[in-house]
Structure formats: structure tokens, C-alpha cells
Chains A and B, each alone.
Chain A
Amino acid sequence: DSGVTQTPKHLITATGQRVTLRCSPRSGDLSVYWYQQSLDQGLQFLIQYYNGEERAKGNILERFSAQQFPDLHSELNLSSLELGDSALYFCASSVGLGHEQYFGPGTRLTVT
């Protein structure tokens, strides 16, 4: 168990809908990262936060947004969902930027 928690574990929703994925980092970690893992694809970096501030963006769609709250938990919001958004979404945390990342168990999103 990495100490990173993600909820929900599974999410099934329809196209056009909006969902929110939640992540709680390990105790003491200030950095949170979000990744998307599609079938037969590697981990695609989406966005990272450090102590509430956005620090880097990857291949994150404009329909997606995220934030890190004062208690350091983070939420990833996905809107106007499309079938192609079906994937595993992982959150990772680290003590500081660039340090070893510890991954949560992921949220499996299915868009029907």
C-alpha cells in the first residue's frame, strides 16, 4: 500500500457528462501528479501541483481541469466526456517536486 488513496475505484458514466476524481496524497507529501493510462498505452502525464500551486502541465485536454486544496488533496475534473476518455486515471504524490513518486490504486473510468 503506497499510502496514496483515490476515490472512486470505478466510475461508469455517459458521454457528455462530468465527473470528479479525488486523490489524497501520502502524509507529508506536498506534490500531486495526475496520469492517464489507456489500454496498451503508457502513462500519460496530465498535470502536477505543489503545495496548492500548478507547476507543470502535460497532455491535458481543455475539458479537463484539476486543483489541489489547502489540505493537499487533489481533484481532477473531467467534463463533456467522450468515449475516448475511458481509461485508468492515476494520482501520484511525492515529498517535493521531482522526488520519487508513489502511485495510488487508480480510478477506472468507463464512458458509455
Chain B
Amino acid sequence: QQQVKQSPQSLIVQKGGIPIINCAYENTAFDYFPWYQQFPGKGPALLIAIRPDVSEKKEGRFTISFNKSAKQFSLHIMDSQPGDSATYFCAAREGFPGTYKYIFGTGTRLKVLA
């Protein structure tokens, strides 16, 4: 059962474009939503994260938009560069202190053309 649905599966944009990756969830108990970036041959690396009481968070060229009522959140990459070409995973945390675990989306493969 996929608890975090991520789309699109792949995305191609021109340099300078703004790719948008979307994630949707059903479990209202999720309390923390990180995004990870993974380059080929490497492990995922934490990019940016948001809590559900915040509607938007920016870190450099990366922005998370969070819509609690719609149970959706998205990653926007401003002024995208070829070096941003990677696979991006959204995730959601569930559980209680002592039992937390993360559920990951299926990933979006982004290619930014020069």
C-alpha cells in the first residue's frame, strides 16, 4: 500500500525552468515531510523539510509548498540547472517518539537540459 504518492515519475525541463514535483498522502498522522535528492551511485541526501503547520519553506533555490487541507505537498526548484539533474524523493514521517519511521514516495527522475 503506497501511503505517499509521488508524481511525475520523470521530468525534463530546460535550464532556468521551474520543475515541480508533487506528493500526496492520506495519513493525517504524518508530522514531518522531508525531500531527498539522489545522484546516480550515491545515497539520498536530505534537501529540505517542512512541518504541517507551515505552508511554505524556502532554502536557496528549493521551495516546499504544503497544503494541509488537500494533504499535498510539492517541491519547486527555481532557476533549475543541469547540476540539479537527479532523482528526488518525498517522504513522510509517522509514529510516536521512540517508534518514528519514514515512508518514501517512489521518486521523480529530473533531467535539466543545458
Interchain nearest-CB distance for B48 vs A (Å): 11
Given contacts A101-B46, A104-B43, contact A56 B99 (CB under 8 A): yes
Q: Which residue, of A43, A44, A55, A97, has the highest number of chain B Cβ atoms within 10 A?
A: A43
Q: Which residue of B lies closest to A56 (CB)?
A: B101
Q: Is A70 an interface residue (CB 8 A)?
A: no
- Contact of A100 with B49 in the complex, beta carbons under 8 Å: yes
- Contact of B45 with A42 in the complex, beta carbons under 8 Å: no
CB neighbours (8 Å) of A103 from chain B are 36, 43-45
CA distance A25 to B12 in the complex (A): 35
- Contact of A98 with B93 in the complex, beta carbons under 8 Å: yes
- Contact of B43 with A48 in the complex, beta carbons under 8 Å: no
Query: Which residue in B41, B46, B95, B107 is a CB contact (below 8 Å) of A98?
Result: B95
- Contact of A42 with B104 in the complex, beta carbons under 8 Å: yes
CA distance A51 to B91 in the complex (A): 24
- For chain A, give the interface size range: 20 to 34
Interchain nearest-CB distance for A35 vs B (Å): 8
B27-63 Cβ-contact flags toward A at 8 Å (1 or 0): 0000010101000011111100100000000000000
Q: Which residue, of B32, B42, B46, B100, has the highest number of chain A Cβ atoms within 10 A?
A: B100
CA distance A102 to B47 in the complex (A): 11
Q: Is B80 an interface residue (CB 8 A)?
A: no
Interchain nearest-CB distance for B13 vs A (Å): 21
Q: Is A105 an interface residue (CB 8 A)?
A: yes
CA distance A84 to B95 in the complex (A): 29
Q: Is B85 an interface residue (CB 8 A)?
A: no
Between-chain CB contacts (< 8 Å), 17 pairs? A2-B43, A4-B43, A33-B101, A42-B106, A42-B107, A43-B91, A45-B101, A45-B104, A48-B101, A55-B98, A56-B100, A90-B43, A102-B45, A102-B46, A103-B45, A104-B43, A106-B42
With A98-B100, A105-B43 known, 7 other A-B pairs at CB within 8 A are: A33-B101, A43-B44, A45-B101, A45-B102, A97-B97, A101-B46, A101-B102
**Residues of A with Cβ closer than 8 Å to B?**
2, 4, 33, 35, 41-45, 48, 50, 55-56, 58, 90, 92, 97-98, 100-106
